[in-house]
């Protein structure tokens, strides 16, 4: 007789499913391996046929060419400035608002919070044309500030930080209160340090979103020296025929994804918390 197996894992999944998933994983990674392979080949050799990927010699010349081309480097810097600016801004605004919504009482607190939550439902398309016009009035297009500002209005960060502040035990700020500390002091000295893991989660998530943003930079940054990496690479993608070759394109793809891949490898857990923590209670 077979022994009973109580583990839920045993009853919900089995080895066969795992191996099917493993095969799917290999299929999923094949295009990535293909691009990395192309990026390591000489462009002239690829012109004669892309089967060349499967044989020696390999070269780093495409990567060297990227570092030589000044535009890719300046797009990279623009992306860094915009992504870091947005991350700092979102963390600051969301922490302040999240603290007040979760721990303090003030008039219209609940109403305001519900209005902010409604903001989660507004898709970018519904506001983008008006936003574009507004930024025209203030001459903000083709500036870093103009690229940073719009996403600071995202309600997601406030929502997430409010949840994190709520999770801190009440006794902690009550104890600080006995020392007659001001609300700002309690926020800054007592509670904020406790939210560091949450700050990391929201910060990494915001950074990735900003780095990958496409719609807004596409219409706001129209001068090539203000492109972010996403827009810059898209601009060299529109005409395959005139590009410097598949190897160079592949190297661009690898180079542009390096920062996010590195962030992902080191902070995978934070990223997963951010995307699933907001949706599943």
Site for another protein in 205-234 (CB under 8 A): 208, 211-215, 219, 229-231, 233-234
Should residue 177 be labelled a site residue for another protein when binding is judged by CB under 8 A?
Answer: yes
Size of interface with another protein, in residues (CB under 8 A): 107
Q: DSSP secondary-structure letter at 107?
A: T
Among 88, 190, 200, 263, binds another protein (CB under 8 A): 263
Give the span between the Cα atoms of 177 and 183, in whole angstroms: 8
Using CB under 8 A as the binding rule, the residues of this chain from 5 to 24 that contact another protein are 5-9, 11-14, 17-18, 20-22, 24
Report 52-81 residues binding another protein (CB under 8 A). none
CB of 227 to another protein, least distance (A): 11
Q: Find tokens 């990674």 and name the residue.
A: 29
Number of H helices, E strands in the chain: 16, 0
Note every long-range contact of 173-176, with CB atoms under 8 Å and residues 24 or more positions apart, other chains counting: 173/103
Residue 268 binds another protein (CB under 8 A): yes
Provide the token pair at 145.
């500030």
CB of 215 to another protein, least distance (A): 7
DSSP state of 186: I
CB atoms within 10 A of CB 156: 18
Distance CA 35, CA 252 (A): 10
Which residue from 41, 140, 256, 270 is in contact with another protein, where contact means CB under 8 A?
256
Q: How many CB atoms lie within 10 A of CB 67?
A: 10
Among 42, 131, 163, 190, binds another protein (CB under 8 A): 131
Q: Is 153 in the site for another protein (CB under 8 A)?
A: yes
Under the binding rule (CB under 8 A), the answer on residue 32 touching another protein is yes
Least spacing, CB of residue 92 vs another protein, in Å: 7
Q: ω into residue 57 within 30 of 0, thus cis? A: yes
Question: What are the DSSP calls for 256-270, one per residue?
Answer: HHHHHHHHHHHHHHH
**Part in contact with another protein (CB under 8 A); list of ranges 58-66, 93-101, 139-147, 194-202:** 93-101
| Alpha-carbon radius of gyration of the chain | 24
Should residue 194 be labelled a site residue for another protein when binding is judged by CB under 8 A? no
Q: Closest Cα partner for 84 from 157, 148, 138?
A: 148
Q: How far is the CB of 17 from another protein (least distance, A)?
A: 4
**Shortest Cβ 119–another protein spacing (Å):** 5
Per CB under 8 A, the list member of 110, 130, 193, 223 interacting with another protein is 130
Contact residue for another protein among 77, 127, 167, 196 (CB under 8 A) = 127
251 is an interface residue for another protein by CB under 8 A = no
């Amino acid at each position: 007789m077979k022994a009973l197996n109580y583990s839920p894992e045993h009853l919900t999944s089995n080895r066969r499913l795992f191996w099917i998933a493993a095969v799917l994983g290999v299929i999923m990674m094949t295009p990535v391996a293909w691009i990395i392979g192309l990026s390591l080949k000489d462009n002239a050799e690829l012109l004669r046929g892309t089967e060349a990927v499967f044989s020696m010699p390999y070269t780093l010349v495409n990567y060297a060419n990227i570092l030589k081309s000044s535009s890719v480097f300046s797009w990279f810097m623009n992306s860094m400035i915009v992504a870091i600016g947005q991350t700092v801004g979102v963390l600051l605004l969301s922490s302040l608002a999240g603290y007040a919504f979760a721990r303090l009482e003030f008039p219209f607190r609940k109403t305001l919070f519900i209005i902010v939550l409604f903001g989660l439902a507004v898709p970018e398309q519904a506001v983008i044309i008006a936003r574009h016009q507004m930024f025209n009035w203030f001459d903000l297009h083709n500036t870093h500030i103009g690229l940073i500002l719009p996403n600071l209005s995202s309600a997601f960060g406030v929502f997430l930080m409010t949840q994190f502040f709520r999770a801190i035990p009440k006794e902690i700020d009550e104890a600080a209160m006995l020392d007659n500390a001001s609300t700002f002091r309690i926020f800054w000295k007592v509670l904020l340090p406790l939210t560091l893991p949450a700050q990391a989660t929201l910060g990494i998530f915001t950074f990735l979103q900003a780095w990958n943003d496409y719609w807004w930079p596409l219409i706001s940054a129209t001068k090539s020296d203000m492109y972010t990496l996403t827009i810059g690479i898209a601009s060299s993608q529109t005409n395959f025929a005139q590009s410097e070759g598949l190897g160079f394109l592949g190297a661009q793809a690898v180079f542009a994804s390096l920062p996010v891949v590195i962030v992902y490898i080191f902070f995978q857990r934070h990223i997963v918390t951010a995307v699933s923590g907001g949706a599943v209670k």
